[in-house]
């Protein structure tokens, strides 16, 4: 129940619901069902954190593969929505990327969402499927009516380039594409990669791209400190150290609670990314 709709002094029942939803879904999956749970905002997934992290993620491991809850998919809208403020705009993907036993998947568009969701539901592991809130009303795309799946843990190069590699996921791909277009007007050729699956992520595709371009920029809405971009930067520094021609750049959210009035200052915008592209290419 949203805070602004409650009567003063009324109990905030919504904070307990995610725990029940996750626990019920884990039980269903443990009995062999394909359970699809929905936490209506990722901002409110935290009461279910214990069930997801200490139950779902460890179910198979702790039993020596005698039982599992691998048929579990948890859907949750995440990220900025344009007017959500600090309670309806968060990007908590990095919390779950830290947990062995979970997969984390984030689509960038309607077509991707259907194919990746069907693949997640049929995957034999618990999957956290974050759906960008921004795309719910703004994204328009032809989606096949039939059954189809898109492979998990396989990034997609959606724009070929030679000067710098850009990586993102979710709604941030649209912002990165705009920055690529503007950079091309200045003669900068950007290669753009949609990571799609954050855990386990496609290191090989990213490594191949950075080995070609020698430069890397990562952008996500979540705060920069401890964001998943840091994991990518560290991995690529290890794998491509001798090929890197500039420090890995990160254009991310700020290390503050998500603001309401000052959202444009917080978000990793096209202009911020374009400035970082130019600085990295000219390093």
The rounded percent of the chain whose pLDDT value lies above 90 is 87
Q: What is the mean pLDDT of residues 165-182?
A: 98
Q: What is the mean pLDDT of residues 153-170?
A: 98
- The confidence score (pLDDT) of residue 5 equals 44
**CATH number of the domain enclosing 20:** 3.40.50.970
Model-level pTM?
A: 0.93
45: domain range?
Answer: 3-138
- List the structure tokens of 271: 């202009």
Residue-wise pLDDT for 70-92, tens only, equals: 999 999 999 999 888 899 999 99
Same domain? 233 vs 160:
yes
Residue-wise pLDDT for 217-258, tens only, equals: 999 999 999 999 999 999 999 999 999 999 999 999 999 999
- The confidence score (pLDDT) of residue 139 equals 75
**CATH number of the domain enclosing 168:** 3.40.50.920
Same domain? 113 vs 192:
no
| E strand map for 4-126 | 35-38, 72-78, 103-105
Residue-wise pLDDT for 23-47, tens only, equals: 999 999 999 999 999 998 999 999 9
Inter-residue long-range contacts of 134-143, CB under 8 Å, 24+ positions, other chains counted:
134/79, 134/80, 134/81, 134/82, 134/171, 135/108, 135/109, 135/110, 135/170, 135/171, 136/77, 136/81, 139/109, 139/110, 140/110, 141/109, 141/110, 141/111, 142/111, 143/110, 143/111, 143/114
Q: What is the mean pLDDT of residues 192-200?
A: 98
> pLDDT class for 4, splitting at 50, 70, 90?
very low
Same domain? 188 vs 269:
yes
Q: Is the pLDDT of residue 164 over 60?
A: yes
How far is Cα 282 from Cα 217, in angstroms, rounded to an integer? 13
Domain boundary among 138, 171, 202: 138
Same domain? 36 vs 130:
yes
- The confidence score (pLDDT) of residue 14 equals 56
- The confidence score (pLDDT) of residue 136 equals 87
Same domain? 178 vs 261:
yes
Specify if 151 maps to a domain. Answer: no
Q: Tell me how many domains the chain contains.
A: 2
């Amino acid at each position: 129940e949203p805070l602004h709709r409650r009567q003063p002094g009324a109990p905030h029942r919504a904070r307990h619901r995610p725990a029940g939803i996750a626990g019920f879904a884990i039980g269903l999956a443990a009995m062999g069902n394909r359970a699809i749970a929905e936490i209506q905002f990722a901002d409110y997934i935290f009461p279910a954190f214990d069930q997801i992290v200490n139950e779902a993620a460890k179910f198979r491991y702790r039993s020596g593969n005698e039982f599992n809850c691998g048929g579990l998919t948890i859907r949750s809208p995440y990220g900025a929505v344009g007017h959500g403020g600090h309670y309806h705009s968060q990007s908590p993907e990095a919390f779950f990327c830290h947990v062995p036993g979970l997969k984390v998947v984030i689509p960038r568009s309607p077509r991707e969402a259907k194919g990746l969701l069907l693949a997640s539901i049929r995957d034999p592991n618990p999957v956290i499927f974050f759906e960008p809130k921004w795309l719910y009303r703004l994204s328009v795309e032809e989606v096949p009516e039939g059954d189809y799946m898109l492979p998990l843990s396989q990034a997609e190069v959606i724009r070929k380039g030679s000067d710098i590699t850009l990586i993102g996921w979710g709604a941030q791909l649209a912002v990165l594409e705009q920055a690529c277009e503007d950079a091309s007007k200045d003669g900068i050729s950007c290669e753009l990669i949609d990571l799609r699956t954050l855990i386990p992520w496609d290191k090989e595709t990213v490594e191949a791209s950075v080995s070609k371009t020698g430069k890397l920029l990562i952008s996500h809405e979540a705060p920069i400190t401890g964001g998943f971009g840091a994991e990518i930067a560290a991995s690529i520094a290890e794998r491509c150290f001798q090929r890197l021609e500039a420090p890995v750049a990160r254009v991310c959210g700020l290390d503050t609670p998500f603001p309401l009035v000052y959202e444009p200052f917080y978000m990793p915008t096209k202009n911020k990314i374009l400035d970082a592209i130019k600085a990295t290419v000219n390093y």
